[in-house]
Amino acid sequence: MTVTVRPVASADRARWQELFDAYMRFYKREPSDEVNERAWTRIMDPASPVNAIVAETDENGEKKVVGIANYILHDNTWTLTQVCYLQDLFVDPTIRAQGVGQQLIDWLVAKMKSENWSRLYWNTAENNYRARGLYDKYTPHSGFLRYVVNNA
C-alpha cells in the first residue's frame, strides 16, 4: 500500500467529513453539521490558523483518503516562533496499525522543521493506549494535566 501525505484539498471534503465524524464519535461527541461546516471553512481559509493534511492511498490507480490531521498554528509567550497544536488525528479503522498515523505526524514534524515552528504538541485520552503507543515513539508525555472549563 502506497500512502501519500499532503495538504487537504477542497475535493477531499466528503471523505474528510466521514473521518472527522468518526473521530468525533470515537471521543463520544455527536457530530454537528454547524461545527463541521465552521471547521471546514476555517481549514479552507488561507488566512486562518486552522489547517489540515490527509493521508491518501493509491491502489491500482484508485486514490482514497484514509487519514486526517487537523492542526492549528499559534503564537506562544514562551517562544519566538509559532507552535503547532495537532488537534485531531484519525485513521480509518480498517487500516490502523499500518503506519498511516506515523506518516501524518512525520509530515508535521518535517513541516515544523522547515517552517521553524518552535514545537509540535498534542493531547490524547489517558486510556487511548493504541495512540499512546505511537506517540511514545516521538516523546514521553509531558506530565501536564489538562483542565477544561466549558461555556454551557
pLDDT for 21: 96
Domain boundary assignment for the chain: 2-135
Question: Average pLDDT of 21-36?
Answer: 91
CB contact at 8 A, 122 and 135? yes
Judged by average pLDDT, the poorest of 8-17, 37-46, 134-143 is 134-143
| pLDDT tens sequence across 73-114 | 999 999 999 999 999 999 999 998 889 999 999 999 999 999
pTM of this prediction?
0.91
Cα–Cα separations (whole angstroms), residue 51 to 27, 32, 38, 60, 151? 21, 19, 13, 29, 25
Sequence length of the chain is: 152
Q: What is the DSSP string of 49-102?
A: SEEEEEEEEEETTEEEEEEEEEEEEE--TT-SS-EEEEEEEEE-GGGTTSSHHH
Question: Average pLDDT of 50-72?
Answer: 94
CB contact at 8 A, 92 and 54? no
CATH, range 2-135: 3.40.630.30
Query: Residue 51: CB partners within 8 Å, gap ≥ 6?
Result: 7, 8, 43, 70, 71, 72, 73
SS (H, E, C) 42-58: HHHCCCCCEEEEEEEEE
Strands 83-91 and 119-122: parallel
